[in-house]
Amino acid sequence: MDFQLNEEHLGVQKMVRDFANKEVVPVIKEWDRKQEMAPFILPRMAELGILGINIPVRYGGQGFDYISLGLVCEELEAADSTLRVIMSVHMGLNSMALLQWGTEEQKQKFLVPQAKGEKYACFGLTEPGAGSDVAGMQGTAKRDGDEYVLNGEKMWISLASKAHHALVVLRTNADAQDPHDGLSAFMMELDREGVKTGDIHGKMGVRAGSTGWISMQDVRVPVENRLGEEGEGFKIAMSCLDNGRYTVGAGATGLIRASLEASLKYANDRKAFGREIGKFQLVQQKIAYMVQSYEAARLLYLRAGWMKNQGQRNTRETSLAKWFATDASFDAASEAIQVHGAYGYSDEYDVERYLRNSKGAVIYEGTSEVHQLMQAGYALGYREDSPLRCEMPAYDPEFWQAEA
């Protein structure tokens, strides 16, 4: 494995860092207090090509590799978690699923406008009564001739009220012996009759982002909107989570870095007992742990990105990257507040927002407890990855960067 980033990686990294630092960081505190998404965010990310960064050029994207996606997510979350959340749902959970599972017609209909940023996308798996227990979902999709009739409600859906398209997983077979085998996936336009969406307010963190719900009442979608075969919904959802978790792990690495950089600045500026607090050993200990966490988290997500580039199954490696980085980001943000003392407890300094934002990623895309069980299962030999009908395609520059 080559640890050296190439010129394309460095260029993407700089472009996104400049955008985040110049256009988002100066105003994000204001929008966080309002608990609203800044209206310029999505159009500006589309204009810069970020919303299709690792989608092949022939499908409207920029043609960069999976490592570039990780670097983008790290830079975005170093500014604010809400930016990375956009990439997790629009790109990781939706567009990359279309790239893996979609027919050519579905790619032209849904993926091309999403990669160009003309349409925004979200992902509907969680329900009011079903989170980690995916097989417990109650939403249904019943075949009626050349259509499916969709009913149910999805909860905690990022971009629910902003998106044009949703990838939803619903139950198509209530009698399946294994309830996981009774699920199917669908691309659903959110302007269809019977669809309602709304926002959730009062969240602990990610307040400058859009989190909401999707209600479906007798929503009719054509059979050609089904992603994959009937009964493949669980496998599709899990493959989506492999990609989503990759973006979360990479993003959490950026939050660790932001906590570290804020702590370094404050420790060098703040004086107590006649000297900078950075000269006290217990403050240095906190700094050292942040450095350790950042370097380890970065290596873990870069390894997962490299495996994606090679076309290798990376469920275990991505799970480990997500689990480690999100737990470490929560710890880093907490220690950053401790370094800042009383000032860290107020929103005058960014570390207060970092801590609130960091907690969400410990829960979504698989809780830390879920990932602990996954890693133990792999180590003990109790768990192995089920085969998929189609794997995520390896990164091929000639294909990715070629016009159709």
Ranges for all domains in the chain classified under CATH 1.10.540.10? 7-120
pLDDT of residue 404: 77
Percentage of residues of the chain with pLDDT beyond 70: 100
CATH of 235-397, one of 3.40.50.12780, 3.30.300.170, 1.10.580.10, 1.20.140.10: 1.20.140.10
pLDDT of residue 116: 98
* Chain centroid, CA 404 distance in Å: 28
pLDDT-derived band at 1, boundaries 50, 70, 90: low
131 pLDDT above the threshold of 90: no
> pLDDT tens digit string along 333-348?
999 999 999 999 999 9
CA Rg value for the chain = 21
> pLDDT tens digit string along 365-393?
999 999 999 999 999 999 999 889 998 99
- For the question of residue 74 being annotated catalytic, the response is no
Whole-model pTM? Answer: 0.96
pLDDT of residue 3: 76
CATH 2.40.10.10 correct for 7-120: no
Ranges for all domains in the chain classified under CATH 1.20.140.10? 235-397
pLDDT of residue 2: 73
Q: Which of 75, 232, 365, 398 is catalytic?
A: 365
Q: What residues contact 376, with CB distance under 8 A and at least 6 apart?
A: 382
Across the chain, mean pLDDT equals: 97
pLDDT of residue 392: 92
- Residue 145 has which token pair? 């001739």
- For residues 137-155, give the mean pLDDT: 97
Burial class of residue 189, CB neighbours in 10 A (0-12, 13-18, 19+): middle
> pLDDT tens digit string along 293-333?
999 999 999 999 999 999 999 999 999 999 999 999 999 99
5 pLDDT above the threshold of 70: yes
Ranges for all domains in the chain classified under CATH 2.40.110.10? 122-232
- For residues 64-82, give the mean pLDDT: 98
> At the top level of CATH, which class does the domain 122-232 belong to?
mainly beta
pLDDT of residue 110: 98
- Residue 325 has which token pair? 């980085």
